[in-house]
Amino acid sequence: MSSSGIRAFSDPLQLAQALIRCASVTPEDDGAQDVLAASLVQLGFTCHQLTFGDNGPPIRNLYARLGTDGPNVCFAGHTDVVPPGPNWTVPPFEAAVKDGRLYGRGAADMKGAIACFVAAVSRLRPKHGSVSLLITGDEEGRALDGTVRVLEWLQARGEVIDCCIVGEPTNPTRLGEMIKVGRRGSLNVKLTVSGVQGHVAYPHLADNPIPRLLAVLNELTAEPLDDGSAHFQPSNLEITTVDVGNPTTNVIPQSASAGFNIRFNDRHTSASLLEWIHNVCNMLGGDLNLISEVSGESFITEPGPLSQALSDAIRQVAGLVPELSTTGGTSDARFISRHCPVVEFGLVATTMHKADEHVMIADMEALTKIYQVALETLLSHPQDGTDRPDRQS
């Protein structure tokens, strides 16, 4: 590893502020990737700025690597943020510091963690291995031209990531409480049942689709999907909308639709759930149309050297024993899990996506130290080509 500019970014605050001042509301970049790349170049990284736009507007991504030998320990994250929304007491892209807190959209999710990782690398003196960053501008959006495309690019060039830490804000209230070692899968379904429009006074001349739609929904929600598994909480199906769009009181509608989401554990796959849904619909639904979208399958990284190195670093720096959890929504870790062991650990999640999003500056310094200690452990031995830090399924 190069040691050029090794002390240039040892304090994460300055870089975090520079990133927050880029109003990179997805899918816009607003210079955030350039700010990060410029910092990494000064630390000796080789940077590849990758733009993909096959599925919509052009998305800027960055892959940067310091070192050439293995293991390659990667940090993954995103520079795009959600819209700021109303009711801020400070400008959302000013990166104000008040009372020991850094305010701004993206402070917690997750520009602060990116800055902490860069600061951690600037303090390293490793003898072996490589450090890389995979940073997308498409995590808060459709996630089609971001991490997935960069992983495909890496695979095409024969470059391997041996393990990965995703810097999502995983801690519920206090830094060090929780590492995410897996996630449930997510399946979105829109179901439309068709009938025959008619007058409510002459139902024998019409075919009301609403009772059949309700029968399908009742059957799908009649029993729990499961009672959980060794690493996961129970799966759940939640109806998110039921729509008829009928502006009158005397017309039987032609169609009725519903949307629902299933968050599923490792006792299911999206394919097995869709088969079940189709069977219920065919039994009860009549003339229907089913549209589905899979955001990701469930995955788990079994406890091993990666989670152990991070847990030990948390105990050393924060004095806590972190919970190894699979709770919460989805993240780009679902894509990375197909390529290498991956865990998630970042700042406190309390204010992410909220007005006045902020993080404690003291937490940023502690997170920097945690990343540094974990990296030093993961890079303490040269790769022998026979083992990887963890196993994922």
pLDDT in tens, 182-200: 999 999 999 999 999 999 9
C-alpha to C-alpha distance for 244 and 226, rounded to whole angstroms: 31
> Higher-confidence residue: 7 or 199?
199
**Which regions of the chain does DSSP assign to beta strands (E)?**
46-52, 59-66, 72-78, 97-98, 101-103, 130-136, 163-166, 178-180, 182-183, 185-194, 198-199, 236-243, 251-252, 255-264, 288-296, 299-300, 323-325, 342-344, 358-360
C-alpha to C-alpha distance for 336 and 299, rounded to whole angstroms: 10
80 given a catalytic annotation = yes
Model-level pTM? 0.88
Whether 180 and 343 have beta carbons less than 8 Å apart is answered as yes
Q: Catalytic residue among 29, 109, 139, 207, which? A: 139
Statement: residue 213 has pLDDT above 70: yes
The per-residue pLDDT for 287 is 87
pLDDT in tens, 33-69: 999 999 999 999 999 999 999 888 999 999 999 999 9
Statement: residue 6 has pLDDT above 70: no
C-alpha to C-alpha distance for 177 and 325, rounded to whole angstroms: 10
Statement: residue 389 has pLDDT above 60: no
Distances (CA, A) of 130 to 2, 64, 68, 160, 161: 10, 10, 6, 11, 10
C-alpha to C-alpha distance for 331 and 344, rounded to whole angstroms: 9
pLDDT in tens, 285-343: 788 999 999 988 999 999 999 999 999 999 999 999 999 999 988 899 999 999 999 99
Whether 334 and 180 have beta carbons less than 8 Å apart is answered as no
Q: Which of 113-117, 370-374, 375-379, 387-391 has the lowest mean pLDDT?
A: 387-391
Statement: residue 7 has pLDDT above 60: no
CA dihedral sign of residues 53, 79, 296, 142? negative
297 given a catalytic annotation = no
**What domains are there in the chain, each with its CATH number?**
12-183+298-378 (3.40.630.10), 185-296 (3.30.70.360)
Q: Does residue 109 come out as left (phi exceeding 0), alpha (psi in the -120 to 50 range) or beta?
A: beta
The per-residue pLDDT for 328 is 86
The per-residue pLDDT for 128 is 82
Statement: residue 387 has pLDDT above 70: no
The band of 9, judged by pLDDT with boundaries at 50, 70 and 90, is: low
Quickly list H helices, the chain.
Answer: 12-20, 32-42, 112-122, 147-156, 210-221, 270-284, 305-318, 333-336, 361-378
Q: Catalytic residue among 30, 80, 145, 297, which? A: 80
C-alpha to C-alpha distance for 268 and 283, rounded to whole angstroms: 21
Statement: residue 235 has pLDDT above 90: yes
Statement: residue 5 has pLDDT above 60: no
Statement: residue 2 has pLDDT above 80: no
C-alpha to C-alpha distance for 82 and 353, rounded to whole angstroms: 7
Segment 10-14 mean pLDDT: 91
Q: What average pLDDT does the structure give for the chain? A: 93
